[in-house]
Amino acid sequence: MKRLGSVRARATLGAMLVVAVTLAAACVAVLLSLRGNLTAQADGQADSAARDVAAQITAGTAYADLELPDGEDHPVQVVDRDGRVLAVSDDLEAISGTGVSGVSPVARPGGRGDDDDADDDDPEAGEVGEITGHSTGSATVDGDVDEYRFAEAEVGDRRGETVLVHAGASLDARKDAVGSAGLAMAIGFPLLVAVVGGTTWLVTRRALRPVEGIRAEMAAITASQDLGRRVPEPDTHDEVARLARTTNETLAALQDSVERQRRFVADASHELRSPIASLRTQLEVGAAHPELLDVDGAVEDTVRLQELAADLLLLARLDAGEKPSGASVDLAALVREELSQRTGDRVPVDVEVRGSAQVTGSRGQLARVLGNLVDNAQRHARTGVRVVVGVEEGRATVTVTDDGDGVPRAQRERIFERFVRLDDARSRDGGGAGLGLAIARDVAERHGGTLTVRTAPQGGALFELSLPVGRESP
C-alpha cells in the first residue's frame, strides 16, 4: 500500500491508464473503420451480381433459364411484388435478411391483364431500376450457413411486371479480417501497456533518485540537527536540481538565522550581566553599609536595564514579523515633539523643517528610530547635532548629522549589526549596548524605507532615513 502511494507508482499507473484508454479508443476506431470498408466492398460485389441478373431479366430471359452465380459466393433470390419466389441459386436451402424466406420457385402466373395495378414508380418493361437498398442476412448453401450482405434491385421484365432481385456477397473476408485484427490487438494491447508501464517506472525511478537522496539527507539533518550539512545537488538542470539548490539555500539561511539567534542570546546575556552585577553589588554594599549606598548609580543601572529590556523586546517583536500600523504620521511634527522633550542633553540639537513630510507607519517605532539616531549623534558630537526634515524626489527624509569623527567607510555597514560598537575604548556605561542603530535600520526597512550613513559636510557622520511619502503629503 505504501509503494502504491509513491510518486513513481502513481506516475506509472497514470501513464498505463492513459495509454490503455487511448489504445482502446484507437482499436475501436480501427475495427469500425475496417468493418465499414469491408462492408462497403461486399455491397459493391452484391450490387454487381444483382445488376448481372437484372440485365438477363430485362433481356427477356425466362426465370428458369437465368444464369445465376454460384450460390456459395453470391446467393440470388428473385421475387415479385407479392413475395412469390421466381428463381433462386442452385443449392440455396435457406435465406434471411431479404424480407422473403422462400427458396423454392413457384409457377409464374400468366401475367397481369390490368396495367392500372402497376406502380407509377415501377421500372418500365425491359428497364433495370436502381439499387434500392442493402441488408445483412444469412444463407444456407449446400448445408453451409454463412453471413452475407444483400443488395436489392428493381427490374421491369418484358411483360411489364416489376420483380426484385436479391443478390448477396459473402462477409467471410470481413469476418476474417476483423477477427485477425482484433486478435492482434488483443495480444498487442496488454504488451504495449506493459512496455509503457515498465518504461515509465524506470524513467521515473531514474528521475526521482536524486529526490530520495535529498529526502534522506534532510532526514539525517533533522536527526543530527547539524545545519551545516547540505543535500546533494544533481548535475542536471531540471526541477530536481533547482529543488536541491533551493533546499541548500534554505538550509544556509536557516543556519545563518540560528547562528545570529545564538549570538544575539549570548550578547544579550553578556550585556545584561554587567548592569545586573553592578546593581547587585551596590545593593549588597548598601545593605551592609547604608551610608555607602550609591543611589544615583543604582538608578542609572536600573535605567540601563530598562532600556536594554525594551530594545530586546522590540527586536523580538520585529524578528517575529510584527508589521507597522497603517497610520498617517507627520514626520515634521514628530521630530518637533520628540526633540522638545529632550532636556539636559550633552550637546544642543538644531532642527530644520523644509516642508511637511507625511508617511504611513507606526508613530512609536519611528519615534524610536529618531531617538536612537539622535542619541548616537550626541555620543560622538563635539559641539552640536543637526536634524533636517524634508521631501526629496518623492520620499520623506530625516537627516541627523554631528561634528564628531565620523564613521570609517569600511565600517559603515557593520555598525548596523546588533551589539556592534566601534568605540571599544570607551566604557560600556557611556556607550549603550550597540542595539540602537540595528533597531533603527530594521524599523526603517519594515516601513519600506532605508537608513544609510555617509560623511557630513562638517566632517562627522550623516545618517539619512528615507521613507516613502504617504498619500496625504503634498
Give yes or no: residues 352 and 456 share one domain.
Answer: yes
Report whether pLDDT(390) > 80: yes
Report whether pLDDT(111) > 80: no
Please report which helix (H) or strand (E) contains residue 336, including its range: helix 331-340
* Alpha carbons 196 and 191: distance in angstroms, whole number: 9
Assigned domain for 134 exists? yes
Please report which helix (H) or strand (E) contains residue 370, including its range: helix 363-380
Comparing 70-74, 295-299, 407-411, 427-431, the range with the smallest average pLDDT is 427-431
Residue 187 contacts residue 114 (beta carbons within 8 Å): no
Summarize pLDDT for 265-291 with one digit per residue, the tens: 777 777 777 778 878 887 888 788 787
Domain boundary among 130, 153, 173: 173
pLDDT (average), residues 39-46? 91
Closest listed residue to residue 244, CA positions, set 229, 255, 233, 230 = 233
Residue 124 has a pLDDT of 53
Handedness of CA 52, 57, 60, 61 (dihedral sign): positive
Report whether pLDDT(165) > 80: yes
pLDDT (average), residues 402-425? 80
Residue 116 has a pLDDT of 42
Give yes or no: residues 97 and 134 share one domain.
Answer: yes
**What values do phi and psi take at 436, rounded to 5?**
-60, -50
pLDDT (average), residues 143-160? 86
Residue 106 has a pLDDT of 81
Residue 108 has a pLDDT of 60
CATH number for the domain that contains residue 271: 1.10.287.130
CATH number for the domain that contains residue 363: 3.30.565.10
Residue 90 contacts residue 105 (beta carbons within 8 Å): no
Assigned domain for 74 exists? yes
Residue 465 has a pLDDT of 93
pLDDT (average), residues 185-204? 89
Give yes or no: residues 332 and 458 share one domain.
Answer: yes
* Alpha carbons 173 and 34: distance in angstroms, whole number: 11
Comparing 9-18, 415-424, 445-454, the range with the smallest average pLDDT is 415-424
Summarize pLDDT for 166-176 with one digit per residue, the tens: 999 988 888 88
Assigned domain for 186 exists? no
Number of domains making up the chain: 3
Report whether pLDDT(324) > 50: yes
Comparing 189-198, 209-218, 384-393, the range with the smallest average pLDDT is 209-218
Summarize pLDDT for 176-188 with one digit per residue, the tens: 888 888 898 889 8
Domain boundary among 319, 341, 368: 319
Report whether pLDDT(302) > 90: no
Report whether pLDDT(2) > 80: no
Residue 423 has a pLDDT of 57
Give yes or no: residues 347 and 431 share one domain.
Answer: yes
Q: Characterize the bridge pairing of strands 76-80 and 144-156.
A: unpaired
Give yes or no: residues 401 and 274 share one domain.
Answer: no
Give yes or no: residues 307 and 356 share one domain.
Answer: no
Assigned domain for 202 exists? no
Assign 50 to helix, strand or coil.
Answer: helix
CA distance to 47, 99, 148, 167, 233, per residue, from 136 (Å): 13, 11, 6, 11, 68
How would DSSP label each residue in 68-122? PPPTTTS-EEEEETT--EEEE-TTEEEEESSS----S--PPP---S-GGGS-TTS
* Alpha carbons 90 and 71: distance in angstroms, whole number: 6
Assigned domain for 279 exists? yes
Residue 357 pLDDT class (50, 70, 90 cuts): confident
* Alpha carbons 193 and 251: distance in angstroms, whole number: 42
Give yes or no: residues 280 and 335 share one domain.
Answer: no
Give yes or no: residues 332 and 312 share one domain.
Answer: no
Residue 402 pLDDT class (50, 70, 90 cuts): very high
The grid coordinates listed for 223 are 536527526
Closest listed residue to residue 162, CA positions, set 194, 119, 197 = 119
User: In which residue are the cell numbers 549589526 written?
Assistant: 417
Assigned domain for 179 exists? no
CATH number for the domain that contains residue 132: 3.30.450
Assigned domain for 390 exists? yes
Give yes or no: residues 310 and 334 share one domain.
Answer: no
Give yes or no: residues 285 and 312 share one domain.
Answer: yes
Give yes or no: residues 159 and 285 share one domain.
Answer: no
pLDDT (average), residues 337-349? 82
Comparing 113-122, 290-299, 388-397, 416-425, the range with the smallest average pLDDT is 113-122
Give yes or no: residues 336 and 247 share one domain.
Answer: no
Domain boundary among 319, 340, 366: 319
Residue 167 contacts residue 50 (beta carbons within 8 Å): yes
Assigned domain for 85 exists? yes
Higher pLDDT, 111 or 201: 201
Comparing 200-214, 289-303, 350-364, 372-386, the range with the smallest average pLDDT is 289-303
Structural domain boundaries enclosing 408:
327-468
Residue 425 has a pLDDT of 38
Report whether pLDDT(40) > 50: yes
